[in-house]
A = this chain, B = another copy of it.
């Protein structure tokens, strides 16, 4: 495989998979021409352009005449398509653990994270339930389910995250107060949670203010990293769920700084 993305690219459609591989390729090489990609992936130049258009739409690469260049790593990592591929099993385990905290009748807020999406799949038999989210895939799924009151948090659509954000979204969040919040971030240090994009930070901060019990879902890939914006101290979260593959010393480090850490078993 040309790709060196760590996640399983198995269950994606052929073009989507190739696009993920192209994305990885571009990130690795920093800047490549369309013809490079034609040779590397054995498809026509037209297809390469189509893939690049899509990746640009998602905000993963920048196109210019003569080739493409990678967006800063930070942006790339917060990209939905990329995130979807990574740490699939871990996210599932974390979701199953999170599920145990939810009782029928509760109100739950979810952010625009793939971890949250995994959690949605487990909602079917915890009804009735009120769920608020700004994440379009989650909204679509929840709309199908019975006995779930769905509260969509509107706002400006971002193709990169497939979710709604900006001021309108933050305002919608402010107007609520849920029992639980499940959210995720792109990076976690022993003391703080981080995220790259200011707009997202804005919404997540609002969410933190609008829930009684705040749960942070972190797969081990997120630890030992930081990102541009400090979202909140870990102590602000009532519970931090990590997966089993998280090194023990990292968990201890989190606990030393006052976080309540729970480990999700696979």
Residues of chain A at the chain B interface (Cβ within 8 Å)? 57, 134, 136, 139-140, 142-143, 146, 149-157, 159, 162, 164, 168-169, 171-172, 175-176
Contacts and interface: CB of A to CB of B under 8 A. Distances in A.
A154 B143 contact: no
B157 A155 contact: no
A162 B152 CA distance: 12
Given A139-B136, A168-B175, A175-B171, A151 B157 contact: yes
Contacts of A156: 149-151
Q: Classify the secondary structure of A's interface with B.
A: mixed
B136 A154 contact: no
A175 B176 CA distance: 17
Contact of A172 (B139, B143, B154): B154
A182 B164 CA distance: 22
Contacts of A153: 154
State how many copies of this chain the complex holds: 2
A143 B134 CA distance: 13
A43 B118 CA distance: 36
Contact of A143 (B136, B149, B155, B168): B136
A155 B151 contact: yes
A151 B152 contact: no
B146 A164 contact: no
A109 to B, nearest CB: 12
Nearest to A153: B154
Given A136-B139, A140-B140, A172-B172, A154 B149 contact: no
B175 A162 contact: no
Nearest to A132: B154
Contacts of A175: 168, 171
Given A136-B143, A140-B140, A157 B150 contact: yes
B157 A143 contact: yes
A152 B140 contact: no
A162 B175 CA distance: 22
A191 B83 CA distance: 54
A139 B162 CA distance: 11
A154 B146 contact: no
Contacts of A159: 143
A164 B140 contact: no
17 contacts: A57-B146, A134-B154, A136-B139, A139-B157, A140-B140, A150-B156, A150-B157, A151-B156, A151-B168, A152-B152, A152-B154, A152-B157, A153-B154, A154-B154, A154-B172, A168-B172, A172-B172
A159 B169 CA distance: 22
